[in-house]
Amino acid sequence: MMNKSERTDMSLTDKELTINLRDFQMNQAGLFYFISELKSLVRQVPDYKSVNITYQSGTSFYREIVPAVLIGQFFGKKMVLKYRSNKAESELEEIGRAMLSFLKLFHSIEVSSGYTADVFNKYGLKTTIVPLKVDEKLFKAKQITSVQPRIIMARRLERGNNISVGIKAFKIVKQKYPRAELYISGDGPQREWLEWLVESENIHGVSFTGSLSLEKLADQFSKSDIYLNTSTIDGMPLSLLEALYCGLPVISTKAGDIPDVIEDGLNGILVESTNYNQIADIIIKLVENPLLAAALSTAGMNSSHSKMSA
């Protein structure tokens, strides 16, 4: 929930009201504040020409999107959905076709990948692809010349991201390299279970940082020397683009549009999502082959910076 000192996700842009629905997370303790925020929207919306709603993974469609849409429709405003989740296929299937009537109320829907656009198209919804961009002021490029390893997994802790596979791979790496570290930066419904997994397997060196601000995430990237993504359902994760920009050797699955960005063996390494032994072998290879780590780092930065300047 937001308070007066935390309204950082709502901004004025050419008389557009931009709403990040993470501000409207509702739980039993926050019901009163949730209602007060909706009242605040009712007061603000009439002053704007359009309402932009940013939807991210973990947002409740019916509890959070629907009220905002209805308020915008009531005042006859242009509605724009900025869909920032990489789980479009599973979310549309799980929520059901009833949500389509609400999605059709939007005048435009922006997505960040061709994969997500194709999913929406299956449901008869037209979209505009707006590629994600790395914040160059926060994320800094650095050449990796050797690997400890210090691995970062910066994804939401939910089923489709397969974080447990990364943990199992790290356990194998840790046995050979006791100084290895794994940073799990993100939050979600699987966090408690993943923490239990780490504890029950007696795996040391794993840090759950929770959700981080962009500033703190950029700092965490600067402390890491490998980026690992193990998702099975995806579009184009921003954290992967940030890793390339920062020069981290990238190990990722082939989900969604990722193979369009990662050329296997050139600016990253593509793996099978459930094969933690394969992932562990690759991490160990990067530790033992600094020239390979350096080559991936250089190629990753070059490919990212060329796309950013295009």
Backbone angles phi, psi at 20, to 5 degrees: -100, 115
Multiple choice CATH, 150-309, 3.30.70.260, 1.10.10.10, 3.40.50.2000, 3.20.20.140: 3.40.50.2000
Architecture of domain 11-129: 3-Layer(aba) Sandwich (3.40)
Locate CATH 3.40.50.2000 in the chain: 150-309
Mean pLDDT of 31-57: 83
Q: Can you say whether the dihedral through the CA atoms of 25, 105, 54, 74 is positive or negative?
A: negative
CA pair distance 174, 179, nearest whole angstrom: 7
Structure tokens at 286: 């990067």
Check residues 56 and 146 and name the one with the higher pLDDT.
146
Residues 267, 271, 276: CA angle, nearest 5 degrees: 130
Provide the Cα torsion 62, 63, 68, 69; round to 10°.
10
Strands 16-20 and 11-13: antiparallel
Q: β-strands 108-111, 128-129: how paired? A: parallel
Contact 279, 271 (CB under 8 A): yes
* HSE (side-chain half, CA atoms, 13 Å) at 274: 4
Q: Whole-prediction pTM value? A: 0.84
Mean per-residue pLDDT for 198-218? 97
What is the structure's pLDDT at 310?
57
Alpha-carbon torsion, ordered 161, 166, 168, 171, to 10 deg: -160
**283 in Cβ contact with 149 (< 8 Å):** yes
Q: How far is CA 253 from the centre of its chain?
A: 15
Residue 175 has pLDDT above 50, yes or no: yes
User: Which tokens belong to 182?
Assistant: 């794994």
pLDDT of the residue at 125 = 92
* Top-confidence residue, 146 or 23: 146
Query: What's the mean pLDDT in 20-43?
Result: 65
CA quadruple 268, 270, 276, 278: dihedral sign: negative
Residue 95: exposure state from Cβ atoms within 10 A (0-12, 13-18, ≥19):
middle
Where residue 29 falls among pLDDT bands split at 50, 70, 90?
A: very low
Helix crossing, 66-74 with 31-44: angle to 10°? Answer: 30
- Res 228 pLDDT > 90: yes
